[in-house]
């Protein structure tokens, strides 16, 4: 897997880039790729949403292919878009979601944060606060969209919506959980390393059929 750190990138640009990378991955032009970035303030709504979006949102709203409901992205939030050919990793969409949760939880442990999952919810929590949201799409077996990890972002824009069908007060940040300052770059580096460890290079001689039976390794940090 190649990790690309893109800095601050407009949502539409990053969305178009993902779709282009999915086509390249399907054609075998690239390997699995992880995009790590921040977005200027923006709202996105997944295909699971059943409610009309609130009126008067202060930032643009995009309807996208990922699962999940409406959420917010903005500065201080690390967004990750893994472009992964799931079958070659022995994954299906459901096990891939669980893998993303595990990678994030293991990544947070060295920072002193005990992440966890909650039954009936997708994402990662610290205490009673949700600190990471996950919503993915899969095209012809290749994943895109991904996760959003609240490092030290402003939670105010979440109060204009019901993020992923939660009360806004249920959202938190890593910095809030720790009670001390966190450097965005340190968390980003930790996440990148965790993905590279969880998704090591595939054996060149393996066929798609044998690779489909391989189980993705558990993260070891």
Average pLDDT over residues 107-117: 94
CA 122 remoteness from chain centre: 11
CA–CA distances in Å: residue 36 to residues 95, 103, 160: 22, 14, 26
Q: pLDDT tier at 204 (50, 70, 90 boundaries)?
A: low
Number of domains in the chain: 1
Q: Which domain holds residue 154?
A: 2-212
> For the whole model, what pTM was predicted?
0.89
153: annotated active-site residue: no
Out of 42, 134, 155, 164, which one is annotated catalytic? 164
Condensed to tens digits (0 to 9), the pLDDT of residues 19-35 reads 999 999 999 999 999 99
Phi and psi, residue 81, nearest 5°: -120, 95
Q: With 60 as the cut, is the pLDDT of residue 178 above it?
A: yes
The pLDDT, as a whole number, for residue 48 is 83
Confirm whether 219 is domain-assigned. Answer: no
Q: Are 18 and 138 in contact (CB under 8 A)?
A: no
The CATH number given to whatever domain includes residue 139 is 3.30.930.10
Confirm whether 91 is domain-assigned. Answer: yes
Confirm whether 114 is domain-assigned. Answer: yes
Q: Are 183 and 175 in contact (CB under 8 A)?
A: no
**Better-scored residue on pLDDT, 180 or 209:** 180
Q: pLDDT tier at 209 (50, 70, 90 boundaries)?
A: very low
Confirm whether 217 is domain-assigned. Answer: no
The pLDDT, as a whole number, for residue 201 is 83
Confirm whether 99 is domain-assigned. Answer: yes
Each as own residue / partner, the long-range contacts of residues 119-127 (CB below 8 Å, 24 or more positions apart, any chain) are 121/164, 122/67, 122/68, 122/97, 122/164, 123/164, 124/149, 126/172, 126/174, 126/177, 127/172, 127/177
What number of other Cβ atoms are within 10 A of residue 207's Cβ? 9
């Amino acid at each position: 897997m190649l990790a690309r750190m893109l800095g601050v990138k407009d949502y539409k640009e990053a969305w178009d880039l993902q779709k282009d990378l999915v086509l390249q991955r399907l054609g075998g032009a690239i390997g699995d790729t992880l995009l790590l970035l921040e977005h200027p303030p923006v709202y996105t709504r997944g295909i699971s949403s059943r409610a009309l979006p609130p009126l008067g949102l202060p930032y643009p709203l995009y309807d996208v292919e990922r699962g999940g409901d409406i959420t917010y992205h903005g500065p201080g939030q690390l967004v990750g878009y893994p472009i992964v050919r799931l079958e070659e990793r022995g994954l299906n969409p459901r096990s891939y979601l669980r893998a993303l949760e595990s990678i994030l939880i293991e990544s947070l442990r060295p920072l002193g944060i005990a992440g966890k999952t909650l039954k009936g919810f997708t994402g990662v929590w610290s205490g009673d606060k949700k600190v990471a949201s996950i919503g993915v799409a899969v095209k012809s077996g290749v994943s895109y969209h991904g996760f959003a990890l609240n490092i030290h972002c402003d939670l105010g824009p979440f109060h204009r919506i019901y993020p992923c069908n939660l009360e806004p007060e249920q959202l938190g940040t890593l910095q809030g959980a720790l009670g001390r300052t966190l450097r965005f770059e340190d968390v980003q580096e930790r996440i990148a390393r965790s993905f590279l460890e969880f998704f090591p290079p595939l054996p060149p001689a393996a066929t798609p059929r044998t690779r489909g039976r391989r189980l993705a390794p558990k993260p070891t940090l």
